[in-house]
Structure 1
Amino acid sequence: MADPIGAASGILALVAFGFSASKSLYQTIESLKDHPRNVRELKQEVEALMNVLQSLNEFVSSNDVDLAVLELPLSQCGKACKEFESVIVKCTANSEGSKISVRDWAKLRYMGSDINGFKDIIAGYKSTITIALGSATLRITKVTADFLGEYKEMIRETKIDLEERLHDVDQRLQDLSSRESWASREDIAERQRVQEERDSTQQCLEICIQASAYLDSLQPTAVADVSTPADSNDSSASTTKGISSRSITTNTLKDCKEKLLDTVSQLERKLLDIKDLKIDDSRITRASSVPPAAEQARLQEELESIKQCLAICTEASSEANQQRTNIFEDVSIAEDGQQVLVSTIGDLIRAQRITAGARSSQWFGQMSDTSLQQISRDRSQTTSDRFTEQQTRDGTPFENRYGKGRNLSPASANFGAKSK
């Protein structure tokens, strides 16, 4: 079993590497003037990546969690930022001052992709890290139903993006398939690079799959076996509302699960197509100055990183689909009692063998914090009114029988006394 302190230190080191590389890339882009729209969008994406890495650093530093699954994506993310910065520096070497023409920006290539392609790579890593961070957060804190909905949507979209990236890498690998017999040392290095990208892609896919599985394991449990007397009307009404909320939640999670399973199936089919990693620079040499073997290795690295990102997404999806349930069993209240068993953060209530006496009130299920406070105020007012009514009913026995009455004066008190 790995040392948790050592594992955390390793993750923190990779986070620091990724943050440093992304910050340097951001500063390099910022130093250049007259950015085209796609370059501005890339700069924004890199800045968002820096923010996510900073959040990850703070989380790992203050929580004992295992995020070793992020090692490969973090490593590849940092390498991608450094390598793309080098591409920009080379492209601007012959430019005048801090200006670079739109044509020069258009010529930029990273593993066969243009600026938009590299932006998608960065976005994939950013989303994967965010999903892994959210998955770890689910294990140690309570979250709202709204957060879970947004989280599951992010997982779904990230898996789709990673699937597209896997398809692109697959095409690149097919382009590098015919010149293995005379591959140079640079060719071998590029092939290794491609392999690392492939491994990273696979890791991302596994993260998505694990997240999806965790979501599925949290499928909500229905409220059952709740029994109350016929005169406990409040309990029946609340239970009906709980069933409606449960049905909505269950159907939503079911739809999400089906979409995730469909996406995972597509990704698995794509991965099965990526079998050969032979070198062929027949196309790449026309679009890039990077040796074909080096390009092959770089693409392979990216593939492995994307797979790891998808694995993170799957795991996070699984965790987000879990609907935590508060279980109450064998609970009873006497006559005129009041009982509240609710969740204000979206957790479901599972209640079994609940009984209530006559004229009692019960609330079960989910409600907002505001609604719970309002119920508390309403019940407090009702109790106060009942107490006042009871006091009025139990007042002086002779009240209203013999008139208003008056206090006796000292003289009246001695009336009829005989003086000696």
Structure 2
Amino acid sequence: MINSRDLLATLVGFDTTSRESNLQLIEFVRDYLAGFDVPCELVYNDERSKANLFATIGPAQLPGIVLSGHTDVVPVDGQPWSVAPFELSERDGKLYGRGTADMKGYIACVLALVPALVKATLKRPVHIALSYDEEVGCLGVRSLLKALEQRPVKPMLCIIGEPTELKPVLGHKGKLAMRCDIHGQACHSAYAPLGVNAIEYAAELIGELGRIGQRLKDPEHHDARFDPPFSTVQTGVITGGNALNIVPADCRFDFEIRALPAHDPSEVAQALQSYAEQHVLPRMRAVSEQSDIRFSELSAYPGLATDARSEAAELIAAFSGSREFGTVAFGTEGGLFDAAGIPTVVCGPGSMEQGHKPDEFVSLAQLHGCDAMLQRLLLSISG
């Protein structure tokens, strides 16, 4: 008998860290579905080293329900695991391995439902959507959604199975990740005023970014549904300089904005760029005309804010057995599905408290709970 635990063991065995290919996992799922006469479509990246998968079970001409998950996982490098990260281990009712919570546990439950879906007389189709490179900016799902836009019938609901302890989530923040490159002029540190110190000007910009972040904390910008209840800004990476006795000519820093759904994160980037152009760059160019400040986008995805009174909310309440709708601090592909006109909710087994950590796990109780939720979904759309 096919069960979610055994499928999870297989899925964890594929090292699908974002820097690696996910094709072994995708090809396993393709062959697994083919065993039930379920065809699927693969949407590859340009290098054909990774792929999204989309499959439909049931009457494709009707609006259906998408069960969506990402196949990539975060690295285990430098983490003190007590078990092999790419082998499923069980201890005290917990299943350990990279991706068990985020989010191969959900994918395993979806695949375990396939035999029942195939046997049932479905009033609506169920679509299985698997993506790549979610962990590095929700990159892969964009080409999948572009392909779906060409179809005459849009799904009525997408359930993103990120770990929420099976509590229905209707909202999360969006994200914009940016890079700032500062180019100044090098010289001997004994003659520092003759140079343009890129690190010091970067520090000035980072300071202004912090002041922008402080303004976002004003109560007028709050949304009490989120924790923290305001948009946040932070600088995560900075590099620059070659030696202490050389005024550094170059510096680079990366920053991100985690924005409430109602807040456009590009406003922060634009405010910082305006500050750079009006207050910083003129002073740099007064010393060296070749000085420059450049901003570039690294990644972005929109927030999610599904209406609690919507049909999507009613459906997930029925499937999950809870009307206690929540929000999460982390981002998902849900905002992109929603922006494509597919109402979206987030609900899956496990907790993000375990995600991205050494000895990541999902409990057997959560896995079985997800199986039960998907069975309720099946009953609701079966003739």
Alignment TM-score > 0.5, same fold: no
Q: TM-score, normalised by structure 1?
A: 0.29
Q: Which has the larger radius of gyration?
A: 1
Q: TM-score, normalised by structure 2?
A: 0.31
> Of Structure 1 and Structure 2, which has the larger fraction of its residues in strand?
2
> Of Structure 1 and Structure 2, which has the larger fraction of its residues in helix?
1
